[in-house]
């Protein structure tokens, strides 16, 4: 018996392209289940949450603000009123740490949000379109990758001037490349896999495949990279403060406090130690969370 072409007819239009009939555990539920079992990662997440609360709501419980001077109470050692002491202008270091943490976190999340957007867009197109476009786009990435980023961060910061907005722009401009690489790499491997083929056979178009299949499947890797780029951005801002190109005073970041405090170690060690300890805590937390996320999302680690 021969099978004629007429035996096959296209599916009725409007039907779900590929329906799944059973409830499934999503990637997120899966990852969260694994993440929760990792004590270091959970510890990191807790510390991170505490620091975020401290930064967001701490200032409401403080009778001081970060910029009003009190020249009657300068350079006080830690005491009951000022648990972290006061700085050269009599400002409460605890309160300034809260604001500083706020700005540092903002720089971390903000600049990563920027390079995430650029990176996903760029890497997604490059990886999915392939062929000459991919080749061309990857050459650009190669060039940017060979640029000494420190040099460019400084050149751009000098040109634009210090300040929060410019830090966002410059860190975003410089840091999207690794993100684009990861996204492209993910998409390159994923698009050859059977489930993409299946989706395509079932009639899903490019946009749908990209948004519904490829991106969600690379999200794990993207989050891992992002989780490590946030502390890197906070570090970079600290370095910029060190060379005088950080946030604009009287605004503070943990980095600018540490770089000012560095000058004070012999005379007023607490003005370096507290902000430096805050940075260290923040970094530890991000690193543990980042490691935990990698374990949670990486299928190879599944036991």
Partner 1 sequence: MFKNHKWLVTTTSIALVLGVVLTGCGSTAPTAGTTPSKEMKMSYAPGSEPKTLDPQMSNGIPEMIMEMNMFEGLMRLDKDSNPQNAIADSITVSPDGLIYTIKLKDTKWNNGNPVTADDFKFAWMHALNPEAAAEYAYQLFYIKNGEAYNSKKANAEDVGIKVVDPKTMEITLESPTPYFKSLLAFPTYYPVNKNNVEANPKWNLQPETFVSNGPFKMQSWSHNDKLVLVKNSNYWDANSVKLTELTFNLVSDGKAALTAYEAGQLDGIDQTAVPISDLDRLRKAGSLKTSPYLGTYFYRFNVTKKPLDNTKVRQALALAINRQALIDNVFKAGQTPALGYVPGGVPDAETGKTFREVGGELFKEDLTKAKQLLAEAGYPDGKNFPELSILYNTNGSHQLPAQAIQDMWAKNLGINVKLVGQEWKVYQRSQQDLQYDISRAGWIGDYIDPMTFMDMFVTQGGNNQTGWSNADFDKDIETAKKSGDQKVRMQAMHDAEKVLVNDMPIMPIYYYVNYYVLKDNIKGLIQLPLGFTDFKNVTVEK
Partner 2 sequence: MARYLFGRIVSALLVVWLVVTLTFFLMHAIPGGPFSSEKILPPAIMENINQRYHLNDPLANQYLDYLKNIAHFNFGPTFRYEGRTVNDLFREGLPKTIALGLVATVLALVGGTMMGIIAALKQNKAPDYIATFLATIGVSVPSFVLATFLQYFVGFKTHWFPPIGWGEAKNLVLPALALSAYPIAQITRLTRSSMLDVLNQDYIRTAKSKGLPGYIIVLRHALRNALIPVVTFMGPFFAYILTGNFVVEYVFNIPGIGQFFVTSIGNRDYPVIMGTTILFATLLVTFNLLVDIAYTVVDPRIKLTGRKGA
What are the residues binding partner 2 (CB under 8 A)?
Answer: 138-139, 142-143, 146-148, 150-152, 154-156, 158-159, 231, 235, 238-239, 242-243, 255, 258-259, 262, 265-266, 272, 276, 279-281, 283-284, 287, 291, 300
Q: Determine the size of the site formed for partner 1 (CB under 8 A).
A: 24
H-only helix segments in 130-160: 131-146, 149-160
Residues 6+ positions from 232 with CB-CB distance below 8 Å = 175
Residue 209 DSSP class: I
CB nearer to partner 1: pick between 264 and 287 = 264
Would you count residue 35 as binding partner 1 (CB under 8 A)?
Answer: no
Would you count residue 264 as binding partner 1 (CB under 8 A)?
Answer: yes
Give CA separation, 143 vs 137, 138, 149, 168, in Å.
10, 9, 11, 22
Residue 163 DSSP class: S
Give CA separation, 54 vs 94, 96, 135, 278, 285, in Å.
10, 11, 47, 11, 14
Name the minimum Å distance from CB 257 to partner 1: 13
Residue for token digits 């990861």?
A: 182
Residues in region 89-148 near partner 1 by CB under 8 A:
89-90
Residues in region 217-256 near partner 1 by CB under 8 A:
244-245, 248-250
Residue from the set 11, 15, 50, 158 that interacts with partner 1 by CB under 8 A: 158
Residues that bind partner 1 (CB under 8 A): 67-69, 71, 74-75, 88-90, 157-158, 161-162, 244-245, 248-250, 262-264, 266-268
């Amino acid at each position: 018996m021969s099978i004629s072409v007429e035996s096959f007819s296209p599916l009725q239009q409007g039907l779900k392209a590929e329906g799944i009939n059973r409830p499934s555990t999503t990637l997120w539920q899966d990852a969260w289940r694994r993440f929760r079992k990792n004590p270091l990662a959970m510890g990191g997440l807790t510390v991170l949450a505490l620091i975020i609360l401290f930064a967001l709501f701490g200032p409401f419980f403080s009778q001081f603000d970060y910029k009003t001077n009190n020249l009657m109470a300068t350079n006080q050692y830690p005491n009951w009123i000022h648990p972290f002491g006061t700085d050269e202008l009599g400002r409460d270091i605890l309160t300034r740490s809260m604001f500083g943490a706020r700005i540092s976190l903002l720089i971390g999340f903000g600049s990563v949000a920027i390079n995430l957007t650029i990176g996903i867009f760029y890497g997604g197109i490059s990886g999915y379109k392939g062929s000459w476009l991919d080749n061309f786009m990857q050459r650009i990435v190669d060039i940017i990758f060979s640029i000494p980023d420190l040099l460019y961060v400084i050149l751009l910061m000098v040109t634009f001037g210090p300040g929060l907005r410019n830090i966002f722009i410059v860190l975003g401009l410089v840091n999207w490349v690794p993100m684009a690489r990861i996204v492209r790499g993910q998409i390159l491997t994923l698009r050859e896999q059977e489930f993409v083929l299946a989706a395509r056979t079932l009639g899903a178009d490019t946009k749908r495949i990209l948004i519904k299949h490829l991106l969600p499947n690379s999200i794990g890797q993207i989050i891992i990279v992002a989780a490590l780029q946030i502390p890197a951005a906070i570090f970079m801002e600290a370095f910029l403060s060190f060379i005088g190109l950080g946030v604009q005073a009287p605004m503070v970041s943990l980095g600018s406090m540490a770089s000012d405090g560095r000058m004070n170690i012999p005379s007023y060690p607490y003005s370096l130690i507290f902000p430096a300890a805050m940075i260290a805590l923040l970094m530890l937390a991000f690193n543990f969370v980042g490691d935990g996320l990698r374990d949670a999302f990486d299928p190879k680690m599944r036991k």
